[in-house]
Structure 1
Amino acid sequence: MASSSRNDTNKVCCYAHPDAPLIEDYRAGDQICSECGLVVGDRVIDVGSEWRTFSNEKAGVDPSRVGGPENPLLNGSDLSTMIGPGTGAASFDAFGASKYQNRRTMSSSDRTLINAFREINGMADRINLPKTIVDRANNLFKQVHDGKNLKGRSNDAIASACLYIACRQEGVPRTFKEICAVSKISKKEIGRCFKLILKALETSVDLITTGDFMSRFCSNLGLPNMVQRAATHIARKAVEIDIVPGRSPISVAAAAIYMASQASEDKKSQKEIGDIAGVADVTIRQSYKLMYQHAAKLFPEDFKFATPIDQLPQM
């Protein structure tokens, strides 16, 4: 007679009381039916730890011997063994020198990687970027470092450029000025490294559009949804009918926000928008001039004007 049975879901249970919960006897390794006391399974492997940990004893030292998780981006050096400092007389020789010396277990290559990963993590934290972007930036840095493609360039500059590329590839681009604000490196140097990395890794990034920045800029300016929708429509229409040729998407987005906000009750100055978008007032003015001549075609049909088009500021 079988002492246990299994139902369709491969669940161990008592054949007489299939719904009864089982009690596990950890000392004997048995699983016992709580209704009739039948031993349903024996020799169950105990997956718990073989020690007891008391958090308030000996400064909370955990006797775990497995170490931390391995970092796939490092060459296994994060799993190296470190010998603790000797305390007894047997740990020192006749001259007082330590018998067991730690070698410099971490290579300079891994030290460079760890410092770069820390820098990328710090920059991402300062502008609230998620872990997926940080992981992609770390992988890009590792590829550049292993390929020895950018010798002579500062590791911080490469790390900043990798973060910029990771944002573009993940579909949430940041401007060079936003990356520059959280980095120690100049905008020009980040731009140079950006081009060199794309060439060295033979990768590419999607072209940025006005829509990539619109929601972030409008929310930072505290503009309502109606103004954001109008600004998005104005910028997209201006690009479609080609009235802003050669202008960067960021300056077009900033000019569209200026136009939409001036037509609404929530008016924002060029300086306020320029500070958020990272573009100069003159740049916004130049794009706005081109768009102002066609303003009637650019606004969405359902937009509620607080200031009519003919009363909008003329540059």
Structure 2
Amino acid sequence: MICPMCGLVVGDRVIDVGSEWRTFSNEKSTKDNSRVGGPENSLFDGSDMSTMIATGPGSDGLRDQFGKPMYRNRRTMNSSDRALHVAVREIRQMADRLNVPKMLVDRANNLFKQVHEGKSLKGRSSDAIVSACMYLACRQEQVPRTFKEICAVSKTSKKEIGRVFKLILKNLETNVDIIKTGDYMSRFCTLLGLSNLLQKAATHIAKKAQDMDLVPGKSPVSVAAAAIYMASQASDDKKTPKEVSDVTGVAEVTIRLSYKAIIPKAVELFPKDFKFSTPIECLPLN
């Protein structure tokens, strides 16, 4: 390895750490150029590999051209491991669509394995269990996603995911922190392209609205959406209810109703150092 600028020899013995694409199979028709199988997965026991040797005469494909028995590696997987493999693949696909880190995927995999081995949810849809495990993993890793977001990348309904989620909490005897508006605020504001000052103001508005009990019965996501809408309307970077709805997943009607409930107390909700582009008295009433 030589520097192209000055000719300095950086290294004279470089080891290629890439894959060795030679095949050691004695099957002529094979196109598999890998020496080994896939990487070991800690979720499985590692007992899904076996070797089969042809012994009976006339076993086409299991003997070579000289009539000698051939060794063939094959995967023999029971139904339990097969279900785990399918779940792992689905969790990975959901994680790619949700754009979440790998550590969250590992947690969701472990949650599914615990539920699967416990057989406490036998008879429930595998898709619902996978979706509920992904939702629970997001909550436990402090990067929560809404039920609607999970439902959008799942094959099951929001109602079923919520039902299975509660069953998993009960059977695994675990709990999660209560969701707050601040848990979603950073991601929602980033997706809307709002500044840090607007995010800070929206977070303050949502927290004060909940402390003052202005929106009883409303979910934290709905309150966060209304707070973002209010903060944006008071700034130069105004967002419509539809834009906020597209990002948060909250219906426009719900955003307007929540906003209508908190606008009378707008003077008390905004931070004292907030710089208004639109005065409070000029803010829309719905």
TM-score (norm 1): 0.75
Question: Equivalent residue for 2:6?
Answer: none
In 1: Cα distance, 2:51 partner to 2:99 partner? 35
Question: Equivalent residue for 2:142?
Answer: 171
Q: How does 1:32-181 map to 2 (within 5 A)?
A: 55=21, 61=33, 63=35, 68-81=38-51, 86=62, 88-90=64-66, 105-181=76-152
Whether 1:250 aligns to 2:226 is no
Match of 2:185 among 209, 214, 231: 214
Match of 1:299 among 270, 277, 280: 270
The alpha carbon displacement at 1:152 in A equals: 1.2
Q: Contact 1:177 / 1:187 at 8 angstroms: preserved in 2?
A: yes
The alpha carbon displacement at 1:108 in A equals: 0.9
Task: Provide the secondary structure at the position in 1 that maps to 2:44.
Answer: coil
Q: Which amino acid aligns with 2:76?
A: T
Question: Equivalent residue for 2:5?
Answer: none
Q: How does 1:179-190 map to 2 (within 5 A)?
A: 179-190=150-161
In 2: Cα distance, 1:82 partner to 1:217 partner? 55
Structure of greater Rg: 1
In 2: Cα distance, 1:172 partner to 1:82 partner? 47
The alpha carbon displacement at 1:242 in A equals: 2.0
The alpha carbon displacement at 1:82 in A equals: 6.5
Higher RCO (CA < 8 A, seq sep 6+) = 2
In 1: Cα distance, 2:51 partner to 2:188 partner? 49
Q: Contact 1:70 / 1:78 at 8 angstroms: preserved in 2?
A: no
**How many percent of aligned residue pairs carry the same amino acid?**
65
Q: Which amino acid aligns with 1:219?
A: T
Q: Contact 2:202 / 2:231 at 8 angstroms: preserved in 1?
A: yes
In 1: Cα distance, 2:269 partner to 2:52 partner? 67
TM-score (norm 2): 0.82
Task: Provide the secondary structure at the position in 1 that maps to 2:45.
Answer: coil
The alpha carbon displacement at 1:70 in A equals: 2.8
Match of 2:212 among 241, 255, 273: 241
Give the number of equivalent residue pairs.
257
In 2: Cα distance, 1:57 partner to 1:204 partner? 50
Q: Contact 1:227 / 1:260 at 8 angstroms: preserved in 2?
A: yes
Q: Contact 2:129 / 2:161 at 8 angstroms: preserved in 1?
A: yes
- The alpha-carbon distance between structure 1 residues 177 and 62, as it changes in their structure 2 partners (threshold 3 A), is closer
Unmatched segments (≥5 aa) in structure 2 = 1-14, 25-30, 55-60
Unmatched segments (≥5 aa) in structure 1 = 1-47, 93-97
For 1:41-88, what per-residue CA distance to the aligned partner results, in whole angstroms no more than 9, with x for missing partners?
Answer: xxxxxxx9xxxx975899794556xx5543221122344446796451
RMSD of aligned Cα (Å): 2.6
For 1:102-159, what per-residue CA distance to the aligned partner results, in whole angstroms no more than 9, with x for missing partners?
Answer: 7761111101000000000000011111111101100010011001111111111100
Task: Provide the secondary structure at the position in 1 that maps to 2:94.
Answer: helix
Task: Provide the secondary structure at the position in 2 that maps to 1:89.
Answer: coil
Q: Which amino acid aligns with 1:143?
A: Q
User: Bigger shift: 102-111 or 289-298?
Assistant: 102-111
In 2: Cα distance, 1:100 partner to 1:55 partner? 20
Q: Which amino acid aligns with 1:72?
A: S
Q: Contact 1:234 / 1:299 at 8 angstroms: preserved in 2?
A: yes
Question: Equivalent residue for 1:274?
Answer: 245
